[in-house]
Amino acid sequence: MLVLAAAVIRSVVTNGRFEWSVVGDYLFDSRILHGAVVTIELTVIAMAIGIALGVLLAVMRLSPNPLVSGASWFYIWFFRGTPLLVQLLFWYNIAALYPTIALGVPFGPSFIHANANTLITPFTAAILGLGLNEGAYMAEIVRAGIISVDEGQADAAQSLGMTRLQTMRRIVLPQAMRVIIPPTGNETISMLKSSSLVSVIVVTELLYAGQLIYSVNFKTIQLLIVVSFWYIVFTSVLYVGQYYLERYYGRGARGQPLTPLERLRIGLMAVRRGQS
Amino acid sequence: MTGQPMVKAEGVHKRFGRQEVLKGISLEVRSGEVMCLLGPSGSGKSTFLRCINHLEKINAGLLSVDGELVGYRPEGGKLHEMRESEVARRRAKIGMVFQHFNLFPHMTALENVTCAPIYVKGTAREQARARAVELLDRVGLADKLDAYPAQLSGGQQQRVAIARAQAMEPRLMLFDEPTSALDPELVDDVLQVMKQLAAEGMTMIVVTHEMGFAREVADEVVFMDGGVVVEAGPPRELLDSPRQERTRAFLSRVL
């Protein structure tokens, strides 16, 4: 195994066609960095919408009111049933369907008018497409978390006089988080990368920024390496964030391991004590 | 000590699907009284307890707590189902203690006791905390305020649960087999706390298999079997000289 790995590394390093210097040149190129920022923005905003929507849809789905749970079921069915790429293109072209968008009372007067073409920029279309789609997936993840909490918890909360929503917010959801976080980390990583799909609706995110450069200088592989490098950096940061979030929501559980930082500190203290 | 009826049940029926669990329960618990419900498992004791604070809806009959119907509002000669917030407000006045404690595992003992006063009643944090410390001290857990449920023994958890229920200042406490899930040596601590509550005049309905407790504390003992009340009476009468054959058979098995 080690020999094989060494051979691969040697070939990657010595093969001149990789042109590692070109990779270095573009790693911190302002266009690439700008694209990276857009990718982060897309991921953060779309995930925020997705999580908020997911919690709402999951609570609705578990409502005793069939109209409410039915609406949630329909949403999830629809958004999971159509490809994300199609949804993105749909939002991008929404102006063809509704040239003006107005906010107001249904069938009544409206307060705000806007031209759909100016309101729905490629960036908002991307946010809508990614966020609304993510909401459907997050809904199922949150629902799984809620179902995993022992029913006795809701009994106890309600016997203390909490309403269904209070019980959900204060008692059930905080406990559901332990089950919700790992797949949500998965979703965030997946979102980080599927945000590259929005290059089709001309949003200059990380991948599209790279494509724009290599379409001029033809250093395709080098720029794809640059782009991959940043994706891996962001994913690694997410790993750390998820680790600490899991610890926070795992409080009260038996046998919480120490964090690497705590272990380091204890190790250093032991070394110092050994010296003195 | 006894006065107005706190709980009044008339012909209470409850079905789960096709299975009829309660087949017309009628009984009365007066204010300040302790009632123990005995009976084999599946006799409907726990279900009846859950009906009293509307965790289960009854299918027929009348059930009232402190003179008010449980879960329904009489209006224009008809009964209307109450809104959820109204049901919640009524429940807040009834404390319940469960067989498996059902403490909130993500909160410390102190937070378990303060959460309902803060979220439901809107009590100020400081005030809720002071009261919770006092209640936990009374159940002998003054040194466990910051412990999470997983760090406590079953007996300690159940005492936190009793303090949690008391924090809402209930007028009635329901105990659903509070010592059945405990190791034998931990049972006494919990029973001691319950005796203290009874001595203070709390109205209590206790589903239990602890005959000693029933004999010592209960004002009335009710024996249920197959969804009906078989026999009821003062503990000495019912436990020492039961009139019904079914009661006798059950007692000979548990005593």
Asked whether the CA dihedral B246, B187, B217, B213 is positive or negative, the reply is positive
Answer whether residue A231 shows pLDDT above 50: yes
Asked whether the CA dihedral A32, A38, A42, A44 is positive or negative, the reply is positive
Q: Does A174 sit within 8 Å of B103, measured CB to CB?
A: no
Mutate to test the interface with A, among B47, B87, B106 (most CBs of A within 10 A): B106
C-alpha span between A117 and A93 (Å, rounded): 9
Average pLDDT over residues B50-72: 91
pLDDT digits (tens, 9 = 90+) for A59-76: 999 988 999 999 999 999
Q: What is the dihedral of CA B48, B54, B56, B61, to 10 degrees?
A: 60
Q: Does A156 sit within 8 Å of B120, measured CB to CB?
A: no
Nearest chain B residue to A166 by CA: give it: B119
The amino acid present at A87, given as its one-letter code, is Q
Query: Measured between CB atoms, which of B92, B100, B120 is closest to A152?
Result: B100
- What does the mean pLDDT of chain A come to? 89
Q: Which residues of B touch A165 (CB under 8 A)?
A: none
Q: Which residues of A touch B93 (CB under 8 A)?
A: 161
CB atoms within 10 A of CB B143: 9
Task: Return the pLDDT at B102.
Answer: 96
Q: Does A155 sit within 8 Å of B120, measured CB to CB?
A: no
Query: Measured between CB atoms, which of A156, A166, A249 is closest to B98?
Result: A156
Task: Return the pLDDT at B1.
Answer: 46
- What does the mean pLDDT of chain B come to? 93
Answer whether residue A276 shows pLDDT above 90: no
Global pTM value: 0.82
C-alpha span between B255 and B239 (Å, rounded): 10
Element holding A114 (H helix, E strand): strand A110-115
Answer whether residue A200 shows pLDDT above 50: yes
List all residues 6 or more positions away from A6 whose beta carbon is below 8 Å from its beta carbon.
none
The alpha-carbon gap from A163 to the nearest alpha carbon of chain B, in Å, equals 6
Full 3-state SS string of chain B: CCCCEEEEEEEEEEEECCEEEEEEEEEEEECCCEEEEECCCCCCHHHHHHHHCCCCCCCEEEEEECCEECCEEEECCEEEECCHHHHHHHHCCEEEECCCCCCCCCCCHHHHHHHHHHHHHCCCHHHHHHHHHHHHHHCCCHHHCCCCHHHCCHHHHHHHHHHHHHCCCCCEEEEECCCCCCCHHHHHHHHHHHHHHHHCCCEEEEECCCHHHHHHHCCEEEEEECCEEEEEECHHHHHHCCCCHHHHHHHHHHC
Structure tokens at B101: 């404690």
Q: Does B102 sit within 8 Å of A156, measured CB to CB?
A: yes
Bridge partners of residue B204, in order along the sequence? B34, B173
C-alpha span between B132 and B109 (Å, rounded): 9
Average pLDDT over residues B118-144: 95
Structure tokens at A145: 């978390």
Answer whether residue A131 shows pLDDT above 90: yes
Answer whether residue B42 shows pLDDT above 70: yes
- Nearest alpha-carbon partner for A57 in A129, A132, A110, A111: A132
Q: Does B84 sit within 8 Å of A252, measured CB to CB?
A: no
ipTM given for this complex: 0.91
Full 3-state SS string of A11-55: HHHHCHHHCHHHHHHHHCCHHHHHHHHHHHHHHHHHHHHHHHHHH
Burial (CB < 10 A; 0-12, 13-18, 19+), residue A95, is middle
The alpha-carbon gap from A136 to the nearest alpha carbon of chain B, in Å, equals 28
Q: Does A162 sit within 8 Å of B95, measured CB to CB?
A: no
pLDDT digits (tens, 9 = 90+) for A140-177: 999 999 999 999 999 999 999 999 999 999 999 999 99
Answer whether residue A107 shows pLDDT above 80: no
Query: Measured between CB atoms, which of B103, B116, B151 is closest to A162?
Result: B116
Task: Return the pLDDT at A94.
Answer: 83
Residue B97 and residue B176 in contact, taking contact as beta carbons nearer than 8 Å: yes
Task: Return the pLDDT at A18.
Answer: 80
Of A5-19, A219-233, A236-250, B107-121, the one with minimum mean pLDDT is: A5-19
Of A29-38, A44-53, A254-263, B140-149, the one with minimum mean pLDDT is: A254-263
Residue B132 and residue B167 in contact, taking contact as beta carbons nearer than 8 Å: yes
Chain A residues interacting with chain B (CB cutoff of 8 angstroms): 150, 152-153, 155-164, 166, 170-171, 174-175, 249, 251-254
